[in-house]
Amino acid sequence: MNPPRTEIFTDSTALLRRIKKQFEGKRIFILTDENVSSACLHALLEEFNSIGEIDVIEVEAGETSKSLSICDHLWSHLIENNCSKSDLILNFGGGVITDLGGFVASSFKRGIPFIHVPTSLMAMTDAAIGGKTGIDHLDVKNVIGTFALPEAILVNTSFLETLPMQELKSGFAEMLKHALISNKTLWQSLLKLESVTHKTIIPFLSESIKIKEEIVNSDFREKGQRKLLNFGHTLGHALESSYLRQNKPISHGEAVALGMVIETAIANRIGHTDKEHSDAMIAGITQHFPLENYHLPNFADLIPFILNDKKNAGDKIMLTLVSKPGEASYNIELSMETIQEAYTIFHQ
């Protein structure tokens, strides 16, 4: 099965027409969270009865739902309701829901069909694309998961209007990442945005999605080129996990933005990029994610998460680094000491 192309719609009517075309008559289990349910779900349910039997499963919003206990609850619900391979799971929400729902579907009865209808910018540009599913365990992000492809990825841009600014900026961080690793022109265009709103972002949405899809399609199992997408994620995931452990969670996008800043400083420190490019890239990121807004944890708090990063090769810490906008390299081996030296630039 080839990875599905993300389809973009501008309203719920067109989205529902698309779902009805392929999935009419199926029993559909809709997985969502409490926030999405109150903001967006009514737009789907009004017409869903004409498509098939519907069962809505709602979980708490936030990263803590990506857990084995929630998976147990969901698997139990599917068993109790006689879910079969002829049914469908529709993951309706942000990155937490697409990660969680994809994992539950791919592991239940060795895999049942699922689709993603992402409602956040983060999910639209990143989490819903690429066939990665995952949950967290022992505070380590996405450490348990599978590669599993959805039947379809259906984006409705009108859902972006419901997002608070923090969620928009979280997804915007991934758009910046896509531009930095692959498309200098997109990077320069995004830098010109005076503000991040659903209206200013939408013109660049399809290009950002295209970058992710092309990289994934060239290397689905992440043996090479797909590792470029890990830029900002080694330090980003460590920061995200550390904040979560302190019960002071930040969004995934904020963590990735901080990770990109620190990893760019690392690249400059080891001579992978020069000071001019390093300073310009850091300035471009921090204009939207000011470092003074974050109280960075002590580096010692990050070490366990860095060592457990799934991108490592044995005991070797492997990073993806950008030399200049549009040019990135993966499998760069680094010592913990070098990472710490760069980190201390921002944590005094």
- Active-site residue list: 110, 132, 174, 212, 222, 226, 230, 233, 237, 252
Side chain identity at residue 241, one-letter code: S
d(Cα 345, Cα 266) in Å, to the nearest integer? 10
d(Cα 304, Cα 308) in Å, to the nearest integer? 6
For residue 213, what are the contacts with CB-CB under 8 A and spacing of at least 6? Answer: 3, 5, 6, 129, 130
The burial of 303, by beta-carbon neighbours within 10 Å (0-12 exposed, 13-18 middle, 19 or more buried), is given as middle
**Which of 175, 153, 139, 23 lies closest to 91, judged by CA?**
153
For residue 51, what are the contacts with CB-CB under 8 A and spacing of at least 6? Answer: 16, 19, 20, 23, 24, 25, 26, 28
**Which of 164, 174, 233, 161 lies closest to 204, judged by CA?**
174
Could you tell me the two tokens for 236?
Answer: 């980003």
d(Cα 12, Cα 154) in Å, to the nearest integer? 11
Residue 191 — left, alpha, or beta (φ > 0 → left; ψ -120 to 50 → alpha)?
alpha
d(Cα 106, Cα 150) in Å, to the nearest integer? 9
Give Cα separations from 45 to 84, 95, 139, 191, 292 (angstroms): 22, 21, 35, 38, 42
Residue at token pair 């860095």: 306
Contact 14, 47 (CB under 8 A): no
d(Cα 348, Cα 346) in Å, to the nearest integer? 6
